[in-house]
């Protein structure tokens, strides 16, 4: 969409008072104001309008006439689609995934995902990537990975998950007692050298995606749009289920390998905490870490298992981040009605909880004095519902969750396909009904 068409489309529905307000304020002032609006909600206070930060997947590309494939292969085109989306709808923060290199995944022969644009794929160009769960860690290997995590990753996990890097399996470090030799002879094997060359190719492609992501983020910041989060992680239990054992393996391990599973969750918590040390030195406009919770919903495990294997290691990370002055953004997936009491066990005004499927009245009652809440607008309404249904649900959420503060508007999941008129009426309602 050209700049002129974008302005025309925006002017056709954006409330006139909002349009005038945005045009009169400098971008730097808008940037600071939007950060403050979200921070006010996190601190459980009210501001003059509801903060709006909606997680988007393919939506900006769909609305702009391109596809998610562009975010993996055509960064200039994808960047322009993102810029057009944020300029038109004026949310209070950017919430899109960083660009991922399709070419890097091709070179690595990534086996855990399929993606739009991969040669031979059946995934539509308009789809996000699709996960193919694999078992890269057998239950008998728990002692090995717990004893030597780095060695296991290098010699077993990476060659299994990325077949193009199978040469790394040859690497062994043997101490040498001869002063004029090195202890790295295995690094010189043909297979290892091939793997290193492949890693260099992957690195070049990944660097292109990272540079493009940084460039568009800087442009959006200059336009007055701050990022909503500046880090990401996962609950340790989810890491094991997503990347090592598969969902079924992780769930059955609760019964058959509970001690090993608990030990690995604790180890992964410590590794993640170390990885967030950059928050102590980096100059960032906001300090928030996004945690999508994949396997903690109601019914996946008993309350006792959830407490020990899921919540305890996750909370350990959360508390470490809070000590660093960082806000955990906990993005629950699935039903979470039975977990609300446990979620309340955090310091006041230091956490954001997003909900997909939950009784928002109960969430407000239990968590309203403890943590900021968001989410719950069903994305199926945006894709299949009427404008009236979208407006009614938004008003319900604002009436239920906004009083007293501690509320940020978001949908119940990332927005992919949606009717343009429903997206327009969603933002229109938020920019009018969501203001005092």
Residue 189 within any structural domain of the chain: no
Instruction: Point out the least confidently predicted range of 2-11, 39-48, 288-297, 418-427.
Output: 2-11
Report the pLDDT averaged over residues 353-379. 97
With a cut of 80, say whether residue 72 has pLDDT above it. yes
Q: Which has the closest alpha carbon to 273: 227, 202, 326?
A: 326
Report the pLDDT averaged over residues 277-302. 95
Residue 272 within any structural domain of the chain: yes
Instruction: Point out the least confidently predicted range of 176-190, 210-224, 268-282, 366-380.
Output: 176-190
Residue 194 within any structural domain of the chain: no
What confidence tier does 137 reach under pLDDT thresholds 50, 70, 90? Answer: very high
How many domains does the structure of the chain reveal? 1
Domain residues for 324? Answer: 3-54+225-432
Report the pLDDT averaged over residues 267-282. 97
Res 1: pLDDT = 44
Q: What CATH number did the domain enclosing 288 receive?
A: 3.20.20.210
Residue 114 within any structural domain of the chain: no
- Kindly report the pTM of this predicted structure: 0.92
How far apart are alpha carbons 86 and 395 in whole angstroms?
Answer: 23
Cβ atoms of residues 246 and 252 within 8 Å = no
Q: Secondary structure of the chain: what % helix, strand, coil (to 5)?
A: 55, 10, 35
Residue 209 within any structural domain of the chain: no
Residue 275 within any structural domain of the chain: yes
With 0-12 / 13-18 / 19 or more C-beta atoms within 10 angstroms meaning exposed / middle / buried, residue 259 is exposed
Alpha-helical runs (H) found in 230-386? 236-239, 246-256, 258-275, 303-305, 312-323, 340-343, 360-367, 379-384
Distance, CA of 143 to chain centre: 30
Measured CA to CA in angstroms, residue 208 lies from 71, 205, 219, 246, 352 at distances of: 12, 5, 17, 30, 32
Res 421: pLDDT = 98
Question: How does the average pLDDT of the chain come out, rounded?
Answer: 92
pLDDT per residue over 6-22, tens digit each?
Answer: 434 433 444 445 555 55
Distance, CA of 336 to chain centre: 18
* Residues contacting residue 403 through CB under 8 Å, at least 6 positions apart: none
Measured CA to CA in angstroms, residue 189 lies from 109, 172, 176, 194 at distances of: 21, 11, 17, 9
With a cut of 50, say whether residue 340 has pLDDT above it. yes
pLDDT per residue over 148-175, tens digit each?
Answer: 999 999 999 999 999 999 999 988 776 6
Residue 297 within any structural domain of the chain: yes
With 0-12 / 13-18 / 19 or more C-beta atoms within 10 angstroms meaning exposed / middle / buried, residue 159 is buried
Strand partners, 415: 56
DSSP structure class, residue 411: B
Residue 415 within any structural domain of the chain: yes
């Amino acid at each position: 969409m050209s700049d002129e068409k974008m302005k025309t489309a925006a002017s056709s529905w954006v409330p006139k008072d909002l349009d005038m307000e945005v045009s009169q304020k400098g971008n730097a002032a808008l940037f600071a104001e939007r950060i403050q609006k979200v921070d006010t909600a996190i601190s459980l206070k009210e501001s003059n309008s509801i903060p709006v930060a909606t997680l988007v997947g393919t939506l900006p590309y769909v609305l702009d006439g391109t596809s998610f494939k562009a975010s993996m292969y055509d960064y200039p085109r994808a960047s322009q689609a993102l810029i057009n989306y944020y300029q038109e709808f004026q949310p209070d923060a950017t919430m899109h995934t960083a660009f991922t290199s399709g070419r890097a995944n091709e070179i690595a022969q990534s086996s855990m995902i399929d993606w739009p644009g991969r040669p031979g794929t059946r995934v539509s160009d308009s789809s996000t990537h699709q996960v193919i769960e694999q078992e890269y860690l057998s239950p008998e290997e728990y002692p090995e990975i717990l004893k030597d995590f780095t060695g296991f990753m290098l010699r077993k996990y990476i060659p299994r998950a990325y077949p193009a890097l199978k040469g790394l399996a040859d690497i062994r470090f043997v101490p040498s007692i001869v002063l004029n030799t090195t202890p790295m002879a295995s690094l010189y094997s043909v297979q290892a050298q091939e793997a290193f060359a492949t890693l260099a190719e992957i690195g070049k492609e990944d660097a292109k995606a990272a540079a493009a992501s940084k460039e568009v983020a800087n442009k959006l910041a200059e336009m007055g749009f701050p990022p909503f989060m500046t880090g990401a992680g996962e609950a340790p239990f989810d890491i094991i289920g997503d990347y090592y054992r598969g969902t079924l393996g992780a769930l059955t391990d609760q019964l058959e390998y509970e001690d090993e599973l608990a030990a690995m969750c604790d180890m992964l918590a410590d590794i993640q905490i170390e990885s967030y040390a950059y928050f102590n030195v980096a100059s960032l406009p906001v300090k928030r870490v996004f945690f999508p919770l994949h396997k903690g919903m109601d019914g996946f495990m008993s309350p006792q298992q959830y407490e020990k294997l899921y919540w305890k290691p996750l909370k350990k990370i959360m508390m470490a981040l809070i000590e660093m002055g960082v806000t955990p953004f906990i993005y629950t997936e699935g039903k979470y009605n039975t977990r609300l009491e446990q979620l309340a066990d955090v310091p006041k005004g230091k956490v954001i909880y997003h909900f997909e499927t939950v009784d928002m009245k109960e969430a407000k009652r239990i968590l309203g004095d403890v943590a900021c809440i968001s989410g719950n607008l069903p994305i199926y309404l945006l894709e299949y519902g009427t404008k009236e249904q979208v407006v009614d649900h938004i008003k319900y959420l604002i009436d239920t969750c906004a009083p007293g503060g501690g509320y940020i508007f978001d949908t119940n999941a990332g927005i992919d396909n949606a009717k343009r008129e429903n997206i327009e009426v969603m933002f229109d309602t938020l920019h009018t009904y969501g203001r005092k």
